[in-house]
Structure 1
Amino acid sequence: MTPPSDRASPSLRARLTALLLLAVLITALVQAAITWRTALAETEAVFDAQMERVALSLTGGLAASVLGDDALGRGRGAEELIVQIWRADGIMLYRSPSAQLLPPQTVIGFSNVRAGGQDWRVYALETPIQVIQIAQAERARRRMAGQLALRAVLPVALLAPVLMLIVWWVVGRALAPIARLRRQLAARGAGDLAPLPTDGLPAEVRPLVEEMNGLLARLAAAWQQLADFTADAAHELRSPLAALRLQVQGLQRAGSEAERAQATGRLLAGVDRATRLVEQLLALARHDGAARGTPAPVDLAALARHAVHDAAAEARARGIVLAATGDPVLTVTGQSEALAVLLRNLVDNALRHAPDGGQVRVLVRRLPGGAAELAVDDSGPGIAPGERQRVLDRFYRVPGTAGHGSGLGLAIVQAVARRHGAQVVVESSPTLGGARVAVRWPVGALRQR
């Protein structure tokens, strides 16, 4: 997985939120300033006109005689505002110059009155000597409110396209790294499994790309494993198949029963070697890749006893003493099937190199400090120090080694051990004098019973 960058990754959500809020805030401030100035000017003008009309109306005939009818509102809005003053005995003292006349009976306070074919909003104030009525046409009020609302909404409507362009630009800038990543993916070929760049990606997208890089790495490893298996199989099967062909031809040329029996035995031995090679190739391909299955507690001591039991017949046939020693129970976390393959290959390798009448010992023990060790010793010739690391490579056999091994047994052991976080060590056996192949788990790998 690609390691995270030292720089703090920008957050896509935080960036979008901050930029959008900034754009909305600026727009709202501009709109609020314009609306405030417009509404203030309109309401000031309306209240000023209302106060002037009321003041002039309350002066009665004196105002009319001094200022004339025009000053009392006979201009614009005269038909939309009515002011009437009634004396306590019902005699009208004053009426503003309007064609409409309100009824003398009214509700003190605010009320709605229909007069002259239209609706009026009326406010009546009663004093000890008179009643004052001020009415305004509902139509005029709605028209004035509509004008004010239009003036308030108009700046927002004009700024809306600008806001949309700002938001579009901001989102495009914020999502530019994702668009760049999409173009990079679209331009890749089928065999390009290199990791994707993570520089400059938002914090919400970066983990996704890192997981994709992990997947690409696993796909690249699987692809390489398939290529290696194909090359190994093609290389290693060529010689056994050629040998089988020669043995079949020898069987065809056999002239006597003894020669045919000898050729048949050689052919069967060749088939067994080819079968063993194919099995080991398949085992290596199966255990050399990604781990399969769920790890679980595995008793290494029990697996060792099973491996010894399975190989006992072959050991007895050659007079080899095969035994399992060490701790009766030693549990690690792993996959029992894979560890059984590891043990089987270790025991087979030791039996192949041990002489007839020799010894092979499987040792399972807890090392000082808490580590675990699974070791297989044999009484064979051993392995020279310069060859001990190379015998873990696939298809490598120590020069001069007898037998018909394929050189895959210890490679399979190495693959399984790596999957379990263990280390394979090849050294001399301190007890039997031959080779010791040990698999060691680190401290903390043991499971407590």
Structure 2
Amino acid sequence: MRSIRKTLTISLLTFGLLAGLTTATLAYLAAKEEAEELFDAQMAQMARLVEQLAPDDASLPLVIENEEPWTPAHPYEEKLSYRIVSNAGQVLIASPSFPAWIDHEPVDGYHDLDHPGENWRMFTLIGEQGQNHIQVVQSDKARTEIATKIALTNTLPILVFLPLLCLAIWWQIGRNLKPLVTLSEEVSERGSGHLDPVRLQEVPTEINGLVRALNRMLQRLKLSFERERRFTADAAHELRTPLAALQIHCENLFAELTDEQSRRSGEQILSGLKRMNRIVEQLLHLSRLDPQERLADNTPLNLTELCRELIGDQIPFAIARQIDLGLTAPDTDLQAKGHALYLSILLRNLVDNALRYTPRGGEVTLELENQKGQVQISVIDSGPGLSEEQKQRVFERFYRGHNKSDGSGLGLSIAHQIAELHGSEVKLLDREDGKPGLVARFTLPG
């Protein structure tokens, strides 16, 4: 799944860095070019100054050998030199640092001189008839060093600004996308019991329509769930009394029947009524569970005692089915946090489901174990088990699989919802001992 923040951050940082580096490069090249132009102007200015100060006398003696050397005031001073050349090509006077290998023949204008070890830049000012020629040279190495320093000085602020720009982009993207993150967290934490409108302190214009549409959808869902719960509860409640009365009348009628065929028909009618009564009871439980997301108060209870009472209630049904029903638990009673009524419904549904699908002569065991501060509850049967596809679908409402029984197809769905109310999950596993059967397991905080 693509992240908007990550995509925006990477793209904007990439564009920002490219723009900043391009600007810095262009600024560096421009500053270096301007520095070169400045150095050329400096050479021309120096030549003009020397021309104004030097006498126009071609007979001046050569004084370069007699000139006393001086101490440079700056390291780059020796990199800029001049000399005066007569019209006859004779050097009249020259700086001590002026390269002696340069040809005396003057050529007007700027020239680049290549020499092993160091290159030079020269400017020659050709004098008019009867005047001397002025030559000014400068080390190319010095020019490059100075131009680079000037260019870096102009570029450095841009390079320092780039990290600050990247940090500002990252911070602004996070700050402006915060409403989206808040909206995502707000919606992801909601369940069927929390369908109130989403309320954000600041809603950006771009997602204002999304928030309004989401709130309308939540409102419709809330009304739909309420109508469904109300209909289920009302229908189950209305059916409960007439079905109970009908079952009593059917039992009275069945007691008076003597004909074998009539008694078999009566048994089928009575079995169907019992199944309808069970469906009504399960629907009532389901209507109470639907609107809740988490139990508000999970009080400590004696889980071992709760399981003993459940086993005692289910013994008659197990005897009728010729199934060995038992409880395996530590000697010390285990405590768990949960709702006693709902947990009893959950355990009863799991045990009842195991008894209904276990063949005669089989066994069903309710097992309690202490697992590092948590209580693990397992209902183990010796039935035919379930395929992987059935394990995924068995928690759907009214799904009864291929092994038909007199169940309603709601027991495991209710058990699954009660487990979710306690922050747990019912898992259906194969038996670990390799025998045929199924293990329904969930955990509770101790």
Range into which the TM-score falls when normalised by the shorter chain: 0.3 to 0.5
After TM superposition, the score normalised by the length of structure 1 is 0.45
After TM superposition, the score normalised by the length of structure 2 is 0.45
